[in-house]
Amino acid sequence: MPLSTADKLAQDAAAAAQVRALSNHPDVVALRVEKVRTFVDTLVWVGIFLGLAFTMVNVQGFAAAGAPAWSLPWLAAWLLDPMVSLVLVAVLRAEQITARYQVLDGMAWAHRTKWFAFLATYVMNTWQSWTHLDLAGIVLHSVPPVLVFLAAETAPVLRDRLTEAVTRAASPAFTGHTPAPADATAEAAPQPVQQNAPAPERERARESVPATRRSERRNPSRAAAKPRRKLLADYLAEARTAWAPGVEITPAWVRSVVPDVSRGTSKNVADALRDELTPTPATVPSHPEPVPAEREEAA
């Protein structure tokens, strides 16, 4: 038979619930964040390398200082920018790993090295424009170093936030699953009452649940905070455990070994314990024992 509209909606609801549960699964969230992290790192590194490649020509011109082409000073000038850039890339790579695992402390010298490399690159890249006060040249040669600096400062923060997103996705508050305590004991719980059951059955099911259990279900915090009331047998068991031969059983002694017992209950506990430990007298025989002949002759 073809499915009814209600059956189709029920199937759609079940499929949607399964998709939502899997979408919020910590492993799925971590996989998605890892893809985003890879995409972000790729774009950031491409921008940094393009910016450093753009500044290389101006730094070489600053270092050559008008030396003839292909001369030793001219060739050595090409080594200045790669020397600074490689150190900068090494620091950025280390920050990438530490930011991923949220280990950002103790990086003072790394920050100082990064700032020095950026300032050196910026000064050597814009020196000629500042000497001639060429505003267009200053803006043109300032954008790549500043953009590389901002990208290098922003990338660790983005990686740290992506890692925090993975950690938060794995927390119980996000998944909605609260771990049960290890020492919790399973209790026999009554069967839930079905809403579509007939009225007499629902009424009998409610009556079968004790009143205390219904009150605990309505207010679980109050039920957990209210301790179990101790009976006379509990006090008697504690006093029996604390008693030793030669100890006089009195209400005061009971109150000393059972601090939470009341004065009236301590007397009842003392009497009960005394009755337990006092031996019952032997029954006196109705006929006296015969006196031996030796005793009669002696008498």
Query: How far apart are alpha carbons 53 and 4 in whole angstroms?
Result: 66
Residue 22: its pLDDT value, please? Answer: 82
Joined tokens for residue 196: 């579509």
pLDDT at 238 over 80: yes
pLDDT band at 222 (very low <50, low <70, confident <90, very high): low
Q: Hey, is 25 helix, strand or coil?
A: coil
pTM for this predicted structure: 0.50
Query: How far apart are alpha carbons 229 and 216 in whole angstroms?
Result: 16
Query: How far apart are alpha carbons 245 and 56 in whole angstroms?
Result: 97
Q: Which residue has the higher pLDDT, 139 or 20?
A: 139
The per-residue pLDDT for range 23-52, each reduced to its tens digit, is 888 888 888 888 998 999 999 999 999 998
Cβ-proximal residues to 169 (8 Å cutoff; 6+ apart), any chain = 24, 26, 29, 30, 33, 175
pLDDT band at 197 (very low <50, low <70, confident <90, very high): very low
pLDDT band at 213 (very low <50, low <70, confident <90, very high): low
pLDDT at 12 over 50: yes
Which of 45, 125, 27 is closest to 84 using CA atoms? 125
54 burial (CB, 10 Å; 0-12 / 13-18 / 19+) is middle
Taking residues 253-275, report their average pLDDT.
82
Query: How far apart are alpha carbons 77 and 62 in whole angstroms?
Result: 8
Joined tokens for residue 119: 């300032």
Q: Which residue has the higher pLDDT, 115 or 231?
A: 115
Angle value at C-alpha 97, between 22 and 59, nearest 5 degrees: 130
Residue 283: its pLDDT value, please? Answer: 44
Joined tokens for residue 245: 């031969």
Domain spans of the chain?
14-175, 195-226, 232-277
Residue 159: its pLDDT value, please? Answer: 84
pLDDT at 297 over 60: no
Residue 134: its pLDDT value, please? Answer: 87
Residue 223: its pLDDT value, please? Answer: 46
Q: Hey, is 243 helix, strand or coil?
A: coil
The per-residue pLDDT for range 143-196, each reduced to its tens digit, is 999 999 999 888 888 888 888 888 887 776 555 554 444 444 444 444 444 445
Taking residues 280-289, report their average pLDDT.
50
Residue 257: its pLDDT value, please? Answer: 84
pLDDT at 94 over 70: yes
pLDDT band at 236 (very low <50, low <70, confident <90, very high): confident
